[in-house]
Chains A and B, each alone.
Chain A
């Protein structure tokens, strides 16, 4: 009786070990598959996030561009995989002006800014009260604090430029702080990235979205009638296509590990201030 129980226990143990082995193999396979799918999904989400960032940045830069007779077009270089433009960093309203100096309201209802003005890097556009457009001035010295004639806080902006151009600009003139930036595709081996560079400084280009596929950025420029624009002053809209890659090889099953996944987005951006 005792021997019978021992034999039975051994068989039970072997069967149990075999079963555990089979189950462990199945579970390991399931876990591996789930892990691969999760990694694949995570990589694709990261790639889609790069597309979102690229689309948002291009919209932020391109949408506000415009032009007028006095200061020309904000858009500078219009390449198939790059553009340079004069973009707005802050906006306010002049409360007092004298030759070489503009004072703008600094209260929260008056001054909206992504950052503070910087001499040598920024310029200002000031709107002339007559219907003749804007005037451009460089910021000649570091801005400071000042008071407006109504006693409210102000920001003094020492400006360099044509004094005739400043004539007529005074209290109530809208003002915009602008800087020149470049957006383009650049190679940081072995990948391609979308980068931004400030043209007024010696700053190296900084990546903000990627990695991108080969020829992963394409920009086309359109007139109001949707025909191709050849000059910056003609541009009323831009279509931007961005193709991103996953950083690691994606996919599950048969295509696992073969190549990075690719996805793309095309945004059509109409300028708020077209010609």
Chain B
């Protein structure tokens, strides 16, 4: 009889311990998931800022001008104007694209990559430009078209 009572008490304690541990485990896992989500959101915001910086830098380099012979002529043709690599592993590039008329587009993209090369954030920008006559050194310098900036999806 006494052995039976002891066995019942042990069973209650074990069940209680398991239930408490399960509840604590669920709470801990939920908290961990929430914290991880917050960290990912924070890192993503920083990565986008870095990617945007790279895109704007590449576009600024492109706006410095290019040799006349480099200018694409046929609608849809494009040529790479500049590439940049910024500390923090952010890469940017800008290309000039002919639209079929006197207005051209400089499209820049920036991306932030992890140490393993995985993309963490990417941004694309576009600026419409008019081309001015080449200067004495044969370099064409673009001029921004009114309301020419836009973010690409």
Contact = CB atoms under 8 A, between A and B. Distances in A.
Contacts of A42: 30, 34
A127 B9 contact: no
Given A38-B30, A133-B146, A273-B146, A52 B41 contact: yes
B70 interface: no
A16 B76 CA distance: 83
A134 interface: yes
A173 B31 CA distance: 53
A91 B9 contact: no
A174 interface: yes
A181 to B, nearest CB: 17
A64 B12 contact: no
B101 interface: yes
A20 interface: yes
A130 B5 CA distance: 97
A45 B101 contact: no
B150 A88 contact: yes
Please report whether the interface of chain A is mostly helix, strand, loop or mixed according to DSSP.
mixed
Contacts of B148: 273
Interface stretch (A27-35, A218-226, A253-261): A27-35
Nearest to B128: A174
A177 B34 CA distance: 39
B69 interface: no
Nearest to B20: A27
Contacts of B99: 93, 172-174
Contacts of B101: 129, 170-173
Nearest to A70: B146
A137 B24 CA distance: 62
A224 to B, nearest CB: 15
A63 interface: yes
Contacts of B30: 38, 42
A64 B151 contact: yes
A9 interface: yes
A127 B145 contact: yes
B116 interface: no
Nearest to B104: A172
A272 interface: yes
A248 interface: no
B105 interface: yes
Contacts of A64: 149-151
A64 B151 CA distance: 7
Contacts of B64: none
A31 B28 CA distance: 11
Which of A35, A69, A91, A125 has the largest number of chain B CB atoms within 10 A?
A91
B23 interface: yes
A131 B130 contact: yes
Given A9-B5, A45-B37, A129 B103 contact: yes
29 contacts: A9-B2, A9-B5, A16-B9, A34-B24, A35-B27, A41-B31, A42-B30, A42-B34, A63-B151, A66-B147, A68-B147, A91-B150, A95-B75, A95-B100, A109-B76, A112-B153, A127-B103, A127-B128, A127-B145, A129-B102, A150-B75, A171-B75, A171-B100, A174-B103, A174-B105, A176-B150, A272-B150, A273-B146, A273-B149
> Which 5 pairs show the lowest CB-CB distances between chains A and B?
A172-B101, A172-B100, A272-B149, A66-B147, A68-B146
